[in-house]
Structure 1
Amino acid sequence: MLIPPKARPGDRVAVLSPAFAAPAAGPEVHEQAMRRLEEATGLIPVEYPTTRQLDAPPEARAADVNAALADPGIRAILATIGGDDQILVTPHLDPALAQADPKPFLGFSDNTNILNWLWMNGVAAFHGGSTQLHLGAGPGIDDIHLRALKAALLDGGEIELFEPGESEDFGHRWDAPEALTEFGGRAPTEPWVWAGSSQRVEGRTWGGSLEVIGELAHADRLPAVEDLEGAILLLETCEELPNADWVRRWVRALGERGYLAVVAGVLVARPVVSNFEFDPSSVERVALRAAQRDAVIGEVTRYNPDAVVCVGVPFGHTKPQWILPYGGTVTLNGTARTVTAQY
């Protein structure tokens, strides 16, 4: 696996919309994100033709990704947000460009398509980061996100992940003035839940959005089972709020494919269980998260009782969000109950 070198303050980084063009829907939030990115990291954001173009054709979005990969002056690529059709973009990407000059790519959700494409072509990346959601929205950048962002882009090193103690499923609508100055409704979080073996396991990561993994399976774009031997599987769900039964079926399918039997550990994100249209009570939210937790643990332990499983870590669609290595190394210690990431 090729590990991209880090950028340095003053370097230029591409800010792309390879799925949905969030900057077009929330330009003020996007502008604030660009200012904060430069202030927090010293990196210079560079936009491309489709960064702010709604409904850009997949070929045009892919052309921007290829252009960023080909430009030696661009030292990292950040996605503005996810979407729902990036599976149409990756067939137009050039793996030779990514391999010739590896550079960190940050994204999650629908960006699981590009993350998986990079992984399949031997290039590591980072699961997490959305300039629109995590840099532009709210009164500032969350501490854990900024730590991981700097580690992924600039500093490298090892970080033991920790629970920030509060979380939100969604923020304000981008056209509301509050989107620039306030977080969404935040609530205390539950402790992470550990299951399976109590051993210490270390492996390179693969996975992402369960919804996208399902699409990739249908398109026959998933890794071979043997390539995931000893890996740490990352699993998360999106703002479409799949219920526990759907999550169980998706994870069971990974078991039938042979993935669960060969991985060393499974790291599961704290799921979002509310959105603008569905806002259950705090008691109901806890129950919905517990149902997904139990569904995942039940299926993983069915296929691999020796895997180390940790559920509830704040990555994926929750906020605050840890950015995690994708193809890089994560360590799960079932005895000490710690999660450590190598950036």
Structure 2
Amino acid sequence: MTPDLVHPPKARPGDRIAVLSPSFAAPGVFPAVHEQAMRRLAETTGLIPVEFPTTRWVGAPPEARAADIDAAFADPGIRAIIAVAGGHDQITVIPHLDPALARADPKPFVGTSDNTNLHQWLWGHGIASFYGGSTQVHLGPGPAVDDVHARALRAALLTGGRLEVTDPGESEDVGLDWGDPRALEQYGEREPTEPWTWAGPARAVTGRTWGGCLEVLEWVLTAGRFPDDPAALDGAVLLIETSQELLPARNVGWIVRSLGERGLLGAVQAVLVGRPPVSGLDRRPDAAERARLRAEQRDVVLATVERYNPGAIVCAGVPFGHTRPQWILPHGGTITVDGAARRILADYS
């Protein structure tokens, strides 16, 4: 069965939070957005942001980035950790980490996208975390921090509790370029969200979560960084979402199919699918095309889960992952997926 994981103790206002760049050091390229994010992080949580040597070091080697992660866990004055952004090479950082440091003093970790690697590493060493959030994407840009994000961030880092995951009613795939001064004051182009799509039995299940960015999960599994026995996910709630790489629906289907062939889809009792980005800074299809692309990805995931696990409850379109406004969700914590009432309740303990 899905293992019981350690839930790190919450930070308290006035504590220090490590701000790390385990992948792309966006603050080194776009300092204005980063510095606004640091002010908002302090205002939203009451925590004191602490940068480490590689936080603004663009191109820092994996060993140096790993040393910062280790140092954050080793420092008793640091009571939480947040990643500035994702990237594409965190997989090379993981072999240099010392799990004994994280196990000795587990701390809430918040990050999304390429930070799927770190979430999987923590999960593999018995530590729960929180999937979502990056200071450079969700705190720094725009006129304010989105309400649902602020609520989830405080719950993950400070207060715990149980929150209902709701639809904020609007969404953007990408904000303004961080080098554009307007990025400090304006959101990206937002549009109304579609109703979530539910499939599977009309019942409620509660399970520990596992997952992350689908493309990165493929890397993690290819690198052999997951237990050989799919029973490790028995009864779990699978979290999957896709990135700004804008994979075609068929490629998404191929990866999900591989999860099925590995036995992982058959082990879980529910699947939450994030609202996918279908546009970027250099590509913005019209509204009809965006709707079609989202529907194609949704349909291929629903069909693939149905093939491997017709008893699973599936909800697609949930605002987590590469979208804003965005919920931060427990990773290794519990979520209740109620297919009858069509509600999602997340435990942030």
| TM-score class normalised by the smaller sequence | over 0.9
CA distance in 1, matches of 2:182, 2:112: 25
CA distance in 1, matches of 2:177, 2:151: 26
CA distance in 1, matches of 2:330, 2:29: 29
One-letter code of the match for 2:141? Answer: A
Q: What does the per-residue CA deviation read over 1:243-287, in whole Å, with 9 as the maximum and x for residues that have no partner? A: 100011000000000001110100000000000121100110010
One-letter code of the match for 1:2? Answer: V
1:225 alignment partner in structure 2: 230
Tell me, yes or no, if structure 1 residue 291 matches structure 2 residue 296. Answer: yes
1:31 alignment partner in structure 2: 35
1:47 alignment partner in structure 2: 51
Tell me, yes or no, if structure 1 residue 252 matches structure 2 residue 285. Answer: no
* TM-score normalised by structure 2 residue count: 0.98
How far 1:162 moved relative to its partner?
A: 0.6
Q: Pick the aligned partner of 2:173 from 169, 173, 181.
A: 169
How far 1:216 moved relative to its partner?
A: 1.2
1:242 alignment partner in structure 2: 247
How far 1:8 moved relative to its partner?
A: 0.2
How far 1:312 moved relative to its partner?
A: 0.2
Q: How does 1:1-343 map to 2 (within 5 A)?
A: 1-223=5-227, 224-343=229-348
CA distance in 2, matches of 1:57, 1:99: 24
* Greater displacement, 95-104 / 49-58: 95-104
RMSD of aligned alpha carbons: 0.6
Counterpart of 2:142 in 1: which secondary structure? coil
One-letter code of the match for 1:303? Answer: Y
Percent identity over the alignment? Answer: 63
Counterpart of 1:81 in 2: which secondary structure? coil
One-letter code of the match for 1:185? Answer: E
CA distance in 2, matches of 1:188, 1:113: 31
Counterpart of 2:38 in 1: which secondary structure? helix
One-letter code of the match for 1:112? Answer: T
Q: What does the per-residue CA deviation read over 1:128-175, in whole Å, with 9 as the maximum and x for residues that have no partner? A: 010011010100100000000000011100001110000000011111
Q: How many residues align?
A: 343
Counterpart of 1:295 in 2: which secondary structure? helix
How far 1:6 moved relative to its partner?
A: 0.5
One-letter code of the match for 1:149? Answer: L
Q: What does the per-residue CA deviation read over 1:12-67, in whole Å, with 9 as the maximum and x for residues that have no partner? A: 00000000001011100000000011111110000000000000000000000000
Q: What does the per-residue CA deviation read over 1:292-323, in whole Å, with 9 as the maximum and x for residues that have no partner? A: 00000000010111001000000000000000
Structure 1 segments, 4+ long, off by >6 Å, are: none
Q: What does the per-residue CA deviation read over 1:65-100, in whole Å, with 9 as the maximum and x for residues that have no partner? A: 000000111000000000000000011111111111
How far 1:113 moved relative to its partner?
A: 0.2
CA distance in 2, matches of 1:324, 1:40: 18
